[in-house]
Every structure is written in structure tokens, then in C-alpha cells.
């Protein structure tokens, strides 16, 4: 399986946050129901929510670290090869300008 793109990761994290928020709201709405089955389900759900929140925090930290590493690598490359970087930037800018100008 290929690695997820940054947009897919962001979408996944956003969706997981929505699910966690909805589950927390469900827990609040069922707080008055004290039957044994509901209490057991609420306890399991609360435990899984806590685990999910922890996993989301770890995923965000990993994504931030990777983004910082990519930024540092790009910065190092630009400092090591300034004229190549200028040429690449100009080339990309020219291509984007041509594509925009065609419309």
C-alpha cells in the first residue's frame, strides 16, 4: 500500500476529530441512562475515545515533525545550491504563468 498524501492525512485527521466529538456528545446525552449494559458500553466507549485522542495527538506530532524535516531539507538544499533553486523557481513560475495564460 502506498503512503498517504498529506491531503489524505489531513482529511483523515479531520474526520477522526469529528467522530471523537460526536462520540463525546453521545456519551453526554446518555449520561442519565444508568442501566448495566449502557454503563458498560459507555465505559468502553470512553476508553476507546481516550485512546483515539492519544493516537490523534501522536499522528499530529509525527506529521508536524515530517513537515519540519521536509522544510529543513528544502532550506538546506536552497542554501547549498542557490542558483539551481532560483532557476527551478523561475522555471516553475514560467510554467504556471503559461498554464494560467492559456485560459
> DSSP secondary structure string, the chain?
-PPPPHHHHHHHHHHHHHHHHHHHHHHHHTTT---HHHHHHHHHHHHHHHHHHHHHHHHHHHHHHHHHHHHHHHHHHHHH-HHHHHHHHHHHHHHHHHHHHH-
pLDDT of residue 14: 79
Arithmetic mean of pLDDT over the chain: 82
Q: What are the residue ranges spanned by the domains of the chain?
A: 6-73
Chain segment 3-51, per-residue pLDDT in tens: 667 777 777 777 777 887 878 777 777 777 777 777 777 777 778 888 8
Is the pLDDT higher at 22 or at 96?
96
Amino acid at each position: 500500500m502506498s503512503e498517504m498524501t498529506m491531503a489524505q492525512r489531513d482529511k483523515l485527521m479531520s474526520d477522526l476529530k469529528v467522530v471523537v466529538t460526536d462520540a463525546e456528545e453521545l456519551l453526554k446525552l446518555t449520561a442519565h441512562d444508568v442501566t448495566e449494559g449502557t454503563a458498560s458500553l459507555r465505559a468502553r466507549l470512553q476508553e476507546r475515545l481516550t485512546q483515539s485522542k492519544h493516537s490523534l495527538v501522536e499522528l499530529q506530532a509525527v506529521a508536524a515533525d515530517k513537515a519540519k524535516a521536509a522544510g529543513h531539507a528544502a532550506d538546506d538544499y536552497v542554501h547549498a545550491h542557490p542558483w539551481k533553486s532560483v532557476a527551478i523557481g523561475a522555471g516553475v513560475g514560467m510554467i504556471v504563468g503559461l498554464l494560467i495564460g492559456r485560459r
